[in-house]
Amino acid sequence: MYHLWNLLWACLVSNPFYPHVPSSTGANTASTPSQIAAAAPTTPPSTLTGRLPALGWNHWNAYGCDINEIKIISAANELVSLGLKDAGYEYINIDDCWSLMQRNPKTNELVPDPSKFPNGISGVAAEVHALGLKLGIYSDAGTATCAGYPGSLGTESLDAATFSSWGIDYLKYDNCFVPKNWTDSPDYDDWYNSNSAIRYRQMGAALAEQSIPIQLDLCIWGDANVWDWGARVGHSWRMSFDSSPTWSYITEIIAINVQYLSSIDFFSHNDMDMMEIGNGNLTIQEQRTHMAAWVLFKSPILLGTDLSLLSSTQISIITNPELLAFHQDSTVGIPAAPFNASASSSASSIPEYYAGSSSKGVHVFIINTFSTSATKTFTIANVPGLSGNGPFVVHDMWEGSDLPGTYSLDSSFSIRVDPHDTVAYRIT
Ligand SMILES: *[C@@H]1O[C@H](CO)[C@@H](O)[C@H](O)[C@H]1NC(C)=O
Ligand SMILES: *[C@@H]1O[C@H](CO)[C@@H](O)[C@H](O)[C@H]1NC(C)=O
Ligand SMILES: *[C@@H]1O[C@H](CO)[C@@H](O)[C@H](O)[C@H]1NC(C)=O
């Protein structure tokens, strides 16, 4: 089911030219683009949520539209029973297909589908909150969601108040069914004033008015230079098309994201999309790279599988305490970045060597992008952020143990890395 949906999404919905519906009123002569931009809200996002990249689960990759209260609450219980909550996972996020096709004719409010959610979304929120977790929901900055349910463009204040009244803590805000008069001109001096940004600014401001802090993920598929202005509107933003459980997705999203690392810091996260660990045919090594890449770039990590089917190896990948500590570090907000390992680094499709700092030291991540095992080598002195002349201790973050011996600045460190695997070290 999920890969069918993913195909549909990747081919149709994430294409920026699809689907646009005509404006209901045709030409709008009342306001020029600059008047619309001048009148658009500039309220910044809440600073009571979203400082660190989100950790949680979202139903979409596992279930698509086939959801109900039982599946959502089961996932919440599994987050607790599998030790994921203790590892830091917090959000249970409902994606598309939770509402009725029609709003309430009297109040115009969104209505949870009673056949899927007999206790409403507020009933789910009560159960999720009782487990010490937070609940997310989904809507769309257009006239309809990607699956055709009502969207929130033009009803942002009402919908934000509705979500708040249900106890919602997080909103994924998608980008389907944008009316023609809301599409972007080819170029803006400042994309914060683009029609796309204004559609998101309207919801951002409406959420910021609510009494409960609501984290906002702009599911804008990397449109409208979102990395330049996303942090003025929400807490995280999608960088591209939907994820798929394939090695090519992992390398493609790294290739995109690595160009925009300067956008990432506290309250400001490039979203590489929901996780695929547990889905498809990724090898264990590819799943380690998937986890490590989302960690080292500080992307939200929203698991996207039936948690009850995860193996103990998969659970140890997603709960690795040292990788999660880097991702959730409270003193360093910026991500790891590529570095020159040695004078003679071999070229590959994406950078293979990354270094970043945390409160615990300097970290090095090495991705073997090749489909054969390979020896990776770096010179200690080339690692940015190291201070002093050593001796340095190298600690394996996956294993949680120090490697034998010590290293000086001019030592070169070599390791054999499995095909498509990522090794992770802390150097102190
Ligand atoms: C598009 O048209 C609607 C309905 O007339 C109007 O409310 C909205 O401001 C217009 N949007 C833009 C960006 O012109
Ligand atoms: C996984 O492999 C099976 C068997 O080769 C194939 O049928 C299926 O399409 C693959 N799934 C994905 C998501 O690539
Ligand atoms: C990395 O090394 C190459 C080759 O020595 C050099 O051309 C390049 O400028 C270096 N890049 C950085 C960021 O130091």
Residue 157 near ligand 3, beta carbon < 6 Å: no
Nearest CA to ligand 1 atom 13: 182
Q: Is residue 1 part of a domain?
A: no
Looking at the fold, whether 73 and 167 belong to one and the same domain comes out as yes
Please indicate, yes or no, whether residues 21 and 56 belong to a single structural domain of this protein: yes
C-beta 36 within 6 A of ligand 1 = yes
User: Quick one: tokens of 34?
Assistant: 């600059």
Per-residue pLDDT of the chain (428 residues; tens, 9 = 90+): 334 344 344 333 443 333 444 444 444 455 787 888 889 999 999 999 999 999 999 999 999 999 999 999 999 999 999 999 999 999 999 999 999 999 999 999 999 999 999 999 999 999 999 999 999 999 999 999 999 999 999 999 999 999 999 999 999 999 999 999 999 988 898 999 999 999 999 999 999 999 999 999 999 999 999 999 999 999 999 999 999 999 999 999 999 999 999 999 999 999 999 999 999 999 999 999 999 999 999 999 999 999 999 999 999 999 999 999 999 999 999 999 999 987 666 666 799 999 999 999 999 999 999 999 999 999 999 999 998 998 999 999 999 999 999 999 999 999 999 999 999 999 99
55 and 83 housed in the same domain: yes
Is residue 89 domain-shared with residue 130, that is, in the same domain? yes
Is the Cβ atom of 39 under 6 angstroms away from ligand 3?
Answer: no
How far from 409 is each of 355, 412, 413, CA to CA, in Å? 15, 8, 10
Asked whether residue 36 falls in the same domain as residue 76, the answer is yes
Counting every residue written for the chain, the total comes to 428
- Upstream peptide bond of 179 is cis (omega within 30 degrees of 0): no
Same domain, 31 and 108: yes
The parent domain of residue 199 ranges over 16-327
Indicate which atom in ligand 3 lies nearest the CA of residue 340: 1
Task: Establish how many alpha carbons lie within 13 A of residue 363's alpha carbon, considering only the half-sphere containing its beta carbon.
Answer: 29
* Ligand 2 proximity of 280 Cβ (cutoff 6 Å): yes
What's the 114 CA to ligand 1 centre distance in angstroms? 33
What CATH number is given to the structural domain containing 153? 3.20.20.70
Q: Which atom of ligand 1 is nearest to the CA of 179?
A: 1
Boundary (domain end) residue, out of 293, 309, 327: 327
How many domains is the chain built from?
2
Q: Residues of 264-298 as b/e, b for ≥16 C-beta within 10 angstroms?
A: bebbbbbbbbbbbbbbbebeebbbbbbbbbbbbbb
Residues 80, 173: one domain? yes
Any idea which ligand is nearest the CA of 347?
A: 3
Q: Is 379 in the pocket of ligand 3 (CB under 6 A)?
A: no
Within this chain, do residues 270 and 148 fall inside the same structural domain, yes or no? Answer: yes
- Residue 303 and residue 58 in contact, taking contact as beta carbons nearer than 8 Å: yes
Last residue in a domain, options 309, 327, 345: 327
List active site positions. Answer: 174, 242
Closest alpha carbon to 378 in 418, 336, 350, 346: 346
Whether residue 9 lies inside any domain: the answer is: no
